[in-house]
Amino acid sequence: MDNVLTYIVSGYNYWAALILIMIGMYGMIAKNNLLKKVIGMSIFQSAIILFYISISYKSNASIPIIAHGHGVADHTAIDPNLYVNPLPHVLMLTAIVVGVATLGVALAVLQKIYRVHGTIEEDEILESIKE
């Protein structure tokens, strides 16, 4: 029992990401209100970003800035285990920007849907389209 608790506590960020992914998926699939679906999508995007940042963590590593002349000029080997890979962080920064843009467009589309149909409930919108 103690090993299971240690396993769960040591990967708390992965468990948090998994729970947020499930909450976001539930919000996107199970809800009829389009605003709740958009909120679920936002939660899902945030959970994916948390997951990617979590898997890119490397203990006892520093930022990948190499001192002037080290490794290049003197032809010594650079140990990659001493540095964090910046690519996942840069990609997640881009994902944050895309997520904010997606959220803004989704909210603008929701406003237009509400103006045209008078509701943001999916069932009521489908009924008004059929008529």
Nearest to 94 by CA among 59, 48, 54: 48
Tens of pLDDT, residues 86-119? 898 899 999 999 999 999 999 999 999 999 999 9
Provide the CATH number for the domain formed by 2-56+83-130 in this structure: 1.10.287.3510
Asked if the model's pLDDT at residue 67 lies above 70, the reply is no
Tens of pLDDT, residues 73-88? 556 677 778 888 889 8
Tens of pLDDT, residues 28-44? 999 999 999 999 999 99
Residues 45 and 109: their CA atoms lie apart, in Å, by 19
- pTM of the full structure: 0.81
The domain spans of the chain are: 2-56+83-130
CB neighbourhood size of 119 (10 A): 15
Q: Please report the sign of the dihedral spanned by the C-alpha atoms of residue 6, residue 11, residue 12, residue 18.
A: negative
Largest CA distance in the chain: 77
